[in-house]
Amino acid sequence: MSADRRIIVALDVAGAEQALALAGRLDPALCRVKVGKELFTRCGPGVVEALQRAGHEVFLDLKFHDIPNTVAGAVRAAAALGVWMVNVHALGGRRMMEAAREAAERAGGRRPLLTAVTVLTSMEAADLAEVGIGGSPAEAAMRLARLAQASGLDGVVCSPREAASLRRALGAGFLLVTPGVRPAGSGRGDQRRVATPAEAVRAGADHLVVGRPVTQADDPDRALRTIASEIADGGAG
C-alpha cells in the first residue's frame, strides 16, 4: 500500500456544503474521507452519497453499539449506501459483532470493510476505571481486538500507541485503523494517546485517520501531501 492511500481525512465539520468544499480540495487518489457523527446527524445519507459521486471512498464512522439486531440493520443500511468502511464498538460484545459481520457479508453489491472501535484515543486508565474497566488502555484494547478478530471482523480502530502490540498478536491480515495521528509539531487537541504518521505506520497501522492537521490547514491538499511525505521519509512507505 502506498503512503498516500493509508490516509483517511476526517471531515469533522458541521454541514454538507463545508464537507463537500473541503473534500473538493483533496485528491481522491491520495486519501479516503471519514464521515462521523456530527456531519451524518446533521446531513444524513445524502452527504455520503454526494462525497461518493465526487469520487471519494467513505469511512462511515458511527461506532454502532446496540442490540445485535439493531446493529445488523444499521450495517445493512451502510452497505446499501456503498461505503468503503463502517465500524461498530467492540464493547457491544461478540453476538453484536457477529451479527454485524453477517449483515455485511449478506449485503448486495460491494461488501464494506467492518472494523470495531476498541478504546477511544481520548481515554486513559483513570477514565476506564471510572466506567468499571480494569487495566490499562493497552490491555483493554488487546482484549477487545482479540474479541473482534474472533467475531470475524476485518480489523479494529485503535490508538497508534497500541498498534505494535496488536500487530504482533493479531497478524498481518487484520486491519489496524489509527486515529490520534498528529504530524510532527502539531497539537494534541482532545486526544491523549497519539503518534506521528511515521510512528503509527512503523508500529503496524494500515490506515491513519487525520483530521484538523489537514482540514484546518490553509491548503488541505498540501497538508495531505506533507503527511504522506512524512510517512515515506520515516521509512514507512
Binding residues for substrate, as ranges, are 12, 34, 61-70, 121, 182, 191, 211-212
Check: CB of residue 149 under 8 Å from CB of residue 176: no
Binding residues, as ranges, are 12, 34, 61-70, 121, 182, 191, 211-212
* Integer Cα distance of 208 and 36 in angstroms: 15
Q: Annotated catalytic residue: which of 4, 61, 154, 206?
A: 61
Identity of residue 178: T
Catalytic annotation on 63? yes
Catalytic annotation on 61? yes
CA 99 centroid distance within chain = 20
For the record, the C-alpha cell of 31 comes out as 486519501
Report the b/e string of 174-212 with b at 16+ CB within 10 A.
bbbbbbbbbbeeeeeeebbbbbbbbbbbbbbbbbbbbbe
Q: What's the length of the chain?
A: 237
Q: Annotated catalytic residue: which of 4, 27, 37, 63?
A: 63
Q: Mind giving me the DSSP string for 42-75?
A: HHTHHHHHHHHHTT--EEEEEEE-S-HHHHHHHH
Q: Annotated catalytic residue: which of 4, 27, 37, 66?
A: 66
* Integer Cα distance of 96 and 88 in angstroms: 9
Catalytic annotation on 66? yes
Could you tell me where the beta strands, DSSP code E, fall in 65-196?
A: 85-89, 113-117, 155-157, 175-178
**Which among 165, 171, 172 has a CA at the least distance from the CA of 143?**
165
Supply the residues annotated as catalytic: 61, 63, 66
